[in-house]
Amino acid sequence: MVEYISQSPVIPVVIAGLVVIIVLLQCLTKKRFLKFRFVFSCIVAFGAVMFLVFFKEIQSANDEFFMILTYIGLILVEVLSMVILFSTIDFSMAREKFQKALTTSLNENKFFVLLDKKDRVKSISSCLLKNLEISEENALYKNFFDVVEIKYRIIGLNSEECLKEDVKKFYTHYDKKVQDGEKKTLELNLQNDDGSEAAFYFTEEVIFNHGKYSGRILLGDMKDRDSLVGMEKELTEAQEELELIRSRFTTLLYKTNDGIFFNNMTDESIWVNDVIVEKLCLNGNSMSQAEFFSNMHPDDIALYQNILKSSRSLDYEATYRYNTGNNYVYVKEVGQRIALNGTVEYCGIMNVIDDYHFEKTDTILDTLGTEPELLNRYKQLINEENNVFLVVYFKIASIPEINEKFGRAIGNMMLGEYISFFKKSYVTSGNIYRTSGLEFVALITNFNRMEALSSALKNNEKILHISATYANEKISTDVFMGLSYSADTGNKKETINQAKDALRIASNPQFKSSYAFYKDVK
């Protein structure tokens, strides 16, 4: 048994001596005498020394029982020394070094004080000590409000009249009033001996340790009476300036002819001015995003939301269809993203587009999509992977002359009949759009329809001619067509422009055909 626990008595003496030295260093760091810790470490060191002094006598007695007790005593000395050592290094000295590093940076130019859960001062900046005209020894481990009243008289807390005892009472059960991570402001109203008033303005951050309130940090500055008057003046001027800005903004908001909107992404609400309410036939100025989106064209909602989310800059533009109750109108938004204090909002100008609407004809022409619809559908096709589509840009000639000779109704009838024929034969899902009075664009996504159109053009069928009989007179005109496959351009985004270039070439009188594939004429 003795063999297993035997050791030199010098080792416990060395360990205990180191612990005493570390405790002394900690006393210097804290700038106060740690009586209990120092006395306890000295007792342990004294015990180790006693074992060392009498070790030879015990060993010469050759009594195994006393030897076992001696070695157990040495082990106990080592255990107690390690307990003191680890508690000092891990939980005290590290915290003190951190606290010292923190306060050093704030010491000279900030009012800083660290309080424990009983509002006793654990650390205080020299700047604040200088203001209070006391030494650090007279402030440490005393109630902060008692320290303040060494020089000042406390007359209020957060602009409410109260005395020191009232303030102490307010903070008595402070752990039940605050939560971890909470930050507050503290205004401690003071009065000097001469009757003048001042105030400490602190930012307060509470400290929780293992879920329990352990104190708080106060960081701030002091304002005397002159400063307070100056602050009140600045605040009044700022309020007057804000009121002027508000009045100007309100005037513009309700007098402008433009539609103005605010789309709050945080609380999912939308506000629009009266111009938009009237044009979109809305029930009021404020509504939820869900209510606003419910009247947006289903095909445009995802595209609109994607524009808001994917915009790399603060500015954005978006166009979509909106149901006013009787029909869809085109709305264009030009806005900007604003983020402030965790709130994200889009605001800007929202107007109904009238330039894309053509005169009502009571024909199939009224059902055609317009240029914004074309661009929306075109973007969708571009974003679809492994998708080949054909853009057909065509122009119907001589319609102005027909309108002048036979009337606009006959011209519209001829246009309507041709569009009806072309749509039925080659276009699916209504993908045909009117970009001007005589120009149209078709987006063909069905491979069989593409082949049928290509075959019809090569066989010179009636697809490029329109004819009708009116009052025993035969009316006819020609169609010019430019075509481009998305797979042939190398860049899908250029397909529609290349189809338009092919139409320009096909419309040239010197070109031998009335149609042109971009891949053949590029």
**Boundaries of every domain in the chain:** 2-105, 108-230, 256-353, 364-521
CATH code reported for the domain at 364-521: 3.30.70.270
Closest Cα partner for 402 from 389, 412, 394, 392? 412
pLDDT, tens digit, for every residue of 344-355? 889 988 888 654
At residue 393, the pLDDT reads: 95
Q: Provide, rounded to the nearest whole percent, the portion of the chain with pLDDT above 90.
A: 16
The answer, yes or no, to whether residue 230 has pLDDT greater than 60, is: no
Q: Which residue has the higher pLDDT, 434 or 241?
A: 434
- Paired strand residues for 316: 335
At residue 231, the pLDDT reads: 57
Lowest mean pLDDT among 61-70, 214-223, 437-446: 61-70
DSSP 3-state of 120: strand
The alpha-carbon radius of gyration of the chain (Å, integer) is: 43
- Non-local CB neighbours of 264 within 8 Å, separated by 6+ positions: 270, 271, 343, 344, 345
Q: In the chain, count H helices and then E strands.
A: 18, 19
- In order of 159, 164, 221, 228, 496, the CA distances from 448 in angstroms are 81, 90, 79, 82, 20
- Paired strand residues for 320: 331
At residue 394, the pLDDT reads: 93
- Non-local CB neighbours of 214 within 8 Å, separated by 6+ positions: 116, 117, 207, 208
List, as own/partner pairs, every contact residues 126-133 make where C-beta atoms lie below 8 angstroms and the sequence separation is at least 24, other chains included. Answer: 131/222
pLDDT, tens digit, for every residue of 428-487? 877 899 888 889 999 999 999 999 999 989 887 678 887 776 545 678 888 999 999 988
H/E run at residue 64: helix 64-88
Q: Which residue has the higher pLDDT, 235 or 396?
A: 396
256-353 architecture in CATH?
Answer: 2-Layer Sandwich (3.30)
Tell me if domain 108-230 and domain 256-353 are identical in fold: yes
The answer, yes or no, to whether residue 91 has pLDDT greater than 70, is: no
At residue 103, the pLDDT reads: 52
CB 74 within 8 A of CB 67: no
108-230 architecture in CATH?
Answer: 2-Layer Sandwich (3.30)
- Non-local CB neighbours of 198 within 8 Å, separated by 6+ positions: 152, 190, 191, 192, 222, 223, 224, 225, 228
Alpha-carbon distance of 314 to 139, in angstroms, equals 52
pLDDT, tens digit, for every residue of 256-293? 778 889 999 889 999 998 888 888 888 888 999 999 99
